[in-house]
Structure 1
Amino acid sequence: MVNPLKKQLLVISLAVLLAGCDDAKGPVSFTPEMASFSNEFDFDPLRGPVKDFSQTLLNDKGEVTKRVTGTLSKEGCFDTLELHDLENNSGVSLVLNANYYVDADSQEKRLRLQGKCQLAEFPAAGVTWDTDDNGFVVLARGKDMEVKYRYDEEGYPLGKSTTSKEEHLTVASTPSKDKRKKLDYTAVSTLNDKPLGNVKQSCDYDSHDNPISCSLVMIDNSVTPSVERKFSIKNTIDYY
């Protein structure tokens, strides 16, 4: 029979061992669809079995400037995606229909898909997307432009490089070294190798390592003196 002291030590040892296993497992990687869509439609990528989500961007006055909402299947495909830019009074609501995303109101075909649910073509804009062997969108091509995308080993988007005629715009993102806090990042933008601006974001996270609220600071270096804008992001996320 194990005496009380040895039993207590055994329980502690098991707890430490299990905790070590959890840490070793690490966070869930970003799927090709989530990473690629967030890159293309400018929202923060999420991990894990997301069922539906919303991301709301508010300015320093507490006014909503942008909102993204989406629903996903258990396989990780976007069933619906709504994008609203209140500052510019624009938006779109997309619904998955076979191998297309159609406009929710007009039912007009907007985006053609490749495979099960990855971006392939935006016919009206003459844009096509290429993927790598893992299914991530790595290149977008149009008549007068080309965009290259980068990701880290977990599928986190590291930025993109856009070439259009004589202009070359790059956005390079550096996430936190803490793998569970990837959305704590800094990003630097340059236009023809000249500083354009930078962004710094820090967040609070849920148990899936997804951000539930963030603070965002944007500095515009394209004007003199530089202009700083502060935002907050509020997220709601439901899981399967």
Structure 2
Amino acid sequence: MKKLLFVMPLISVLTACDNASVPAAFTPEMASFSNEFDFDPLRGPVKDFSQTLMNEKGEVTKRVSARLSQEGCFDLLELHDVENNSGATLVLDANYYVDGTTEQKRILLQGKCQLAGIPAAGVTWDTDDNGFVIASHGKDFSVDYRYDSEGYPLGKTSTSGNETLKIIASPPKDPRKKLDYTAVSLLNDKNIGNVAQRCDYDRHDNPLSCTLQIVDDSAKPPVTRHYTIKNTIEYY
């Protein structure tokens, strides 16, 4: 009985420690790529994943899938925009991402696997001391990115000519539910839309499925669209 009384408090302590553990931070590559290629960032030892966006009719509108190395580099990234009949397959090859079909060099990398530029388009990316992409530049545009202390993307400011588009994301206070966010879009400081997302999470605090509401305030009257997101995630 004494041994049992000793073990039970110990189990309680260990369980409490496990529950109080801090969620994994978002890596520079995951956070930066999610900004550039428009998908929800994931955390932890992700091996591969897919994110599928479906409209109210259940029709697939966009799909992103990727395969990552154990170091967190994107070895393969596939992008499909069904609505606009466009897409791309990017394969890691030395310090470039090459086109999966033509094998042409598309994106130049810096370091081991972070974005550096698109030479053919005159696009370059800047990183901070922690390896996060904080800005991109082109002939006619510039973009600045923001992150919180965990590496979660907080939005971006895009400038082209006389127009400035700001996307400001607000994640919840619960650090384990970062993807339950709201966001507003401002064009020249005028509200043109907002987004709200809610998700179900797995044990790595990554979203398994989400509901997404997008309100277009630039339309008269405003238009509200509802989507669902289905994720598949495999871990190392």
| TM-score bucket (shorter structure) | over 0.9
TM-score, scaled relative to structure 2: 0.98
Matching of residue 174 in structure 1 with residue 166 in structure 2? no
Superposition pairs for residues 30-179 of structure 1, below 5 Å?
30-179=26-175
Q: 1:18 Cα shift?
A: 1.1
**Mapping of residues 19-38 of structure 1, within 5 Å:** 19-38=15-34
How far apart, CA to CA, are the structure 2 residues paired with 1:173 and 1:94? 28
Structure 2 Cα separation of the partners of residues 93 and 68 of structure 1: 10
Residues 140-165 of structure 1, C-alpha deviations (whole Å, 9 max, x = no match): 01112110000011100000000111
Task: Tell me which amino acid in the other structure corresponds to 2:47.
Answer: K
Equivalent residue number for residue 199 of structure 2 = 203
Deviation at 1:9, TM superposition (A): 3.8
- Give the aligned residue type for 1:75: E
Q: Percent identity of the aligned residues?
A: 68
Aligned-pair distance for 1:19?
A: 2.1
AA in 1 matched with 2:30 = M
Distance 1:66 1:179 in 2: 27
Q: What's the counterpart of residue 231 of structure 2? A: 235
Figure out how many residues of one structure are paired with residues of the other and give that number. 236
Aligned equivalent of 2:14, options 9, 12, 18: 18
Superposition deviation, residue 7 in structure 1? 4.0
- Give structure 1 stretches of 5+ with no counterpart: none
Between 13-22 and 127-136, report the one with greater CA deviation. 13-22
Letter in 2 for 1:137: V
Match for residue 215 of structure 2? 219
How far apart in 2 are the matches of 1:183 and 1:9?
41
How far does residue 8 in structure 1 lie from its aligned partner after superposition?
4.1
User: What's the Cα RMSD here?
Assistant: 0.9
TM-score by length of 1: 0.96
- Quote the Cα distance in structure 1 between the aligned partners of 2:95 and 2:37: 19
Aligned equivalents of 1:26, 1:9: Cα separation in 2: 29
Equivalent residue number for residue 191 of structure 1: 187
Distance 2:11 2:191 in 1: 50
Q: Give per-residue Cα distances to partners, 1:169-225, cap 9 Å, x unaligned.
A: 000111111111101100110000000100000000111111010000000000111
Cα drift, residue 123 of structure 1: 1.6
Q: What secondary structure is seen at the aligned counterpart in 2 of 1:188? A: strand
Q: Distance in 1 between matches of 2:74 and 2:13?
A: 38
Q: CA–CA distance in 1 between the matches of 2:13 and 2:139?
A: 57
Report the Cα distance in structure 1 between the residues aligned to 2:206 and 2:104, rounded to whole angstroms. Answer: 33
Runs of 4+ in 1 over 6 A off after TM superposition: none
One-letter code aligned to 1:61: K
SS in 1 for 2:205: coil
